[in-house]
Amino acid sequence: MTTRRSLTSLTAVAAVAAIGFAAGYARQALADKPAAAATTGGAGGAAGAGAPTNCKAFNGGKCCDPAVAAHLPKEAVFKACGESDATFLGEVGSKETCKYVFKVNGEKPDETFVQVYTPAQKEVPPSPNDPFFQWKKVGKAYMTEKAKSPKAAPMMANATGLWLPGKGYFVSINASTKVCTKSEAAKLVPSIK
């Protein structure tokens, strides 16, 4: 009975240590990514520091992390897609994502957005490896060109994808065609960091 109790205690201690190690590793991996983003030419390099400024949160959501938003500032979306503060409903931020939401007459806000996704990744491929879409090089980034299957065609009709590899991360943009036409989305490429 004492042996069983000792083994149970030892197993519990080992589990807590493993969880602590994993949490510490994940926290360090996430901490490395924003620092890399700030030093690789984020918006002024200092955008990753501190709390968001000049934020308009959408529907009571959270503001975007400045380190994520620095990869494609909302002002670049305004310029390329013909939007403005008048049509900008706000932003929704989460761990590695920033979604800019716009007002488009007759459309639901959950379908009228430009989303920036910047996940940390150890090995970043030089081009997107996507089973659903064919991509073409546009300037320094890649842009969805056509759907590879009939099931992916509706997604292609509703949004344009942009993809840029980085060091330790990549930037993926999903731009609703209701906000940015395909040609307008191509104008976002120079602003992606």
Give tens-digit pLDDT for 72-83.
999 999 999 999
Chain centroid, CA 103 distance in Å = 21
The pLDDT, as a whole number, for residue 52 is: 53
Strand ranges (DSSP E) for 6-158? 88-94, 97-102, 113-117, 133-138, 141-147
Higher confidence at residue 43 or residue 91? 91
1 has pLDDT over 60: no
Q: What is the mean pLDDT of residues 74-99?
A: 95
Q: Using CA atoms, how far apart are residues 98 and 85, in angstroms rounded to an integer?
A: 17
24 has pLDDT over 60: no
Q: What is the mean pLDDT of residues 162-178?
A: 96
Q: What is the mean pLDDT of residues 42-62?
A: 62
**Contact yes or no for 144/123 (Cβ under 8 A):** no
Residue 67's CB is within 10 A of a number of other CB atoms, namely 21
- 121: helix, strand or coil: coil
**Contact yes or no for 33/48 (Cβ under 8 A):** no
Mean pLDDT estimate for the chain: 79
Higher confidence at residue 32 or residue 172? 172
β-bridge mates for residue 159, sequence order: 176
